Protein backbone atom coordinates (compact mmCIF):
# COMPACT_ATOMS: atom_id res chain seq x y z
CA UNK A 1 0.00 0.00 0.00
CA UNK A 2 1.27 3.44 -0.90
CA UNK A 3 2.37 5.96 1.70
CA UNK A 4 1.11 9.52 1.23
CA UNK A 5 3.22 12.19 2.88
CA UNK A 6 2.35 15.71 4.01
CA UNK A 7 4.23 18.34 6.00
CA UNK A 8 3.55 17.72 9.71
CA UNK A 9 3.00 21.38 10.48
CA UNK A 10 3.07 24.80 8.85
CA UNK A 11 2.63 28.29 10.23
CA UNK A 12 1.21 31.22 8.27
CA UNK A 13 0.65 34.83 9.25
CA UNK A 14 -2.84 36.28 9.00
CA UNK A 15 -3.30 37.44 5.43
CA UNK A 16 -0.32 35.40 4.30
CA UNK A 17 0.04 32.54 1.86
CA UNK A 18 0.99 28.93 2.55
CA UNK A 19 1.18 25.87 0.33
CA UNK A 20 0.60 22.35 1.63
CA UNK A 21 1.84 19.41 -0.41
CA UNK A 22 0.86 15.76 -0.77
CA UNK A 23 3.39 13.28 -2.09
CA UNK A 24 3.13 9.61 -3.00
CA UNK A 25 5.67 6.87 -2.29
CA UNK A 26 4.86 5.36 -5.69
CA UNK A 27 6.04 8.38 -7.67
CA UNK A 28 4.58 11.59 -9.03
CA UNK A 29 1.03 12.50 -8.09
CA UNK A 30 -1.07 13.05 -11.19
CA UNK A 31 -4.63 13.99 -11.97
CA UNK A 32 -5.27 10.25 -12.18
CA UNK A 33 -4.92 10.07 -8.41
CA UNK A 34 -7.99 12.37 -8.19
CA UNK A 35 -6.56 14.31 -5.22
CA UNK A 36 -8.91 15.45 -2.50
CA UNK A 37 -8.23 17.95 0.28
CA UNK A 38 -10.09 17.96 3.60
CA UNK A 39 -10.14 20.35 6.52
CA UNK A 40 -10.73 19.14 10.07
CA UNK A 41 -11.07 21.31 13.16
CA UNK A 42 -10.84 19.87 16.69
CA UNK A 43 -13.93 17.93 17.72
CA UNK A 44 -15.51 18.20 14.28
CA UNK A 45 -16.00 15.88 11.34
CA UNK A 46 -13.81 16.64 8.33
CA UNK A 47 -15.20 18.67 5.47
CA UNK A 48 -14.18 18.43 1.85
CA UNK A 49 -12.53 21.51 0.33
CA UNK A 50 -11.12 20.27 -2.99
CA UNK A 51 -11.80 17.26 -5.23
CA UNK A 52 -10.22 16.04 -8.46
CA UNK A 53 -7.09 18.16 -7.94
CA UNK A 54 -8.61 21.62 -8.16
CA UNK A 55 -12.40 21.56 -8.04
CA UNK A 56 -14.15 23.32 -5.19
CA UNK A 57 -17.43 22.67 -3.44
CA UNK A 58 -19.87 25.55 -3.08
CA UNK A 59 -18.73 26.20 0.48
CA UNK A 60 -15.00 26.23 -0.25
CA UNK A 61 -13.64 29.72 0.36
CA UNK A 62 -12.06 31.30 -2.71
CA UNK A 63 -8.77 31.67 -0.82
CA UNK A 64 -8.22 27.89 -1.09
CA UNK A 65 -6.97 26.44 -4.37
CA UNK A 66 -5.74 23.02 -5.45
CA UNK A 67 -3.10 22.14 -8.04
CA UNK A 68 -0.31 19.77 -9.02
CA UNK A 69 3.13 21.11 -8.16
CA UNK A 70 6.48 19.44 -8.66
CA UNK A 71 5.07 15.92 -8.75
CA UNK A 72 2.81 16.46 -5.76
CA UNK A 73 -0.73 17.60 -5.11
CA UNK A 74 -0.83 21.02 -3.52
CA UNK A 75 -3.30 23.08 -1.53
CA UNK A 76 -2.59 26.80 -1.46
CA UNK A 77 -4.17 29.10 1.07
CA UNK A 78 -3.91 32.74 0.01
CA UNK A 79 -4.94 35.37 2.53
CA UNK A 80 -5.08 33.13 5.60
CA UNK A 81 -7.76 33.81 8.18
CA UNK A 82 -7.76 32.80 11.85
CA UNK A 83 -10.59 30.36 11.14
CA UNK A 84 -8.32 28.47 8.73
CA UNK A 85 -6.32 27.08 11.64
CA UNK A 86 -6.99 23.35 11.36
CA UNK A 87 -5.64 19.96 10.30
CA UNK A 88 -5.60 19.37 6.56
CA UNK A 89 -5.57 15.95 4.91
CA UNK A 90 -5.13 14.92 1.31
CA UNK A 91 -6.57 11.72 -0.16
CA UNK A 92 -5.28 9.93 -3.24
CA UNK A 93 -6.88 7.19 -5.33
CA UNK A 94 -4.82 4.19 -6.41
CA UNK A 95 -6.97 2.30 -8.92
CA UNK A 96 -9.90 2.18 -6.57
CA UNK A 97 -8.19 1.95 -3.23
CA UNK A 98 -7.63 5.23 -1.43
CA UNK A 99 -4.92 6.43 0.93
CA UNK A 100 -5.02 9.47 3.20
CA UNK A 101 -2.03 11.64 3.74
CA UNK A 102 -0.43 11.98 7.14
CA UNK A 103 -2.03 15.37 7.72
CA UNK A 104 -0.71 18.94 8.10
CA UNK A 105 -1.44 21.07 11.14
CA UNK A 106 -1.79 24.68 9.95
CA UNK A 107 -1.35 27.41 12.53
CA UNK A 108 -2.36 31.00 11.74
CA UNK A 109 -0.12 33.17 13.87
Partner 1 sequence: QVQLVESGGGLVKPGGSLRLSCAASGFTFSDYYMMWIRQAPGKGLEWVSYISSSGSTIYYADSVKGRFTISRDNAKNSLYLQMNSLRAEDTAVYYCAGGGYCRLWGQGTLVTVSS
CB of 59 to partner 1, least distance (A): 9
Q: How far apart are CA 90 and CA 72, in angstroms?
A: 11
Per-residue b or e along 11-25, where b marks 16 or more CB atoms closer than 10 Å to that residue's CB: ebeeeeebbbbbbbe
Q: Is 96 in the site for partner 1 (CB under 8 A)?
A: yes
Residue 67 interacts with partner 1 (CB under 8 A)? no
Residue 5 or 79: which CB sits closer to partner 1?
Answer: 5
Residue 28 CB neighbour total at 10 angstroms: 11
CB atoms within 10 A of CB 7: 18
* Among 47, 63, 107, 109, interactor with partner 1 by CB under 8 A: 47
Instruction: State which of residues 28, 102, 107, 109 lies at the interface with partner 1 (CB under 8 A).
Output: 102
Residues near partner 1 (CB under 8 A): 1, 36, 38, 40, 45-48, 51-52, 55, 57, 87, 89, 91, 96-103
Amino acid sequence: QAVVTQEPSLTVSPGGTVTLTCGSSTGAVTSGHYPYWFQQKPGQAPRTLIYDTSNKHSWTPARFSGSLLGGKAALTLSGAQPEDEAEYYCLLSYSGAYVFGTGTKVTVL
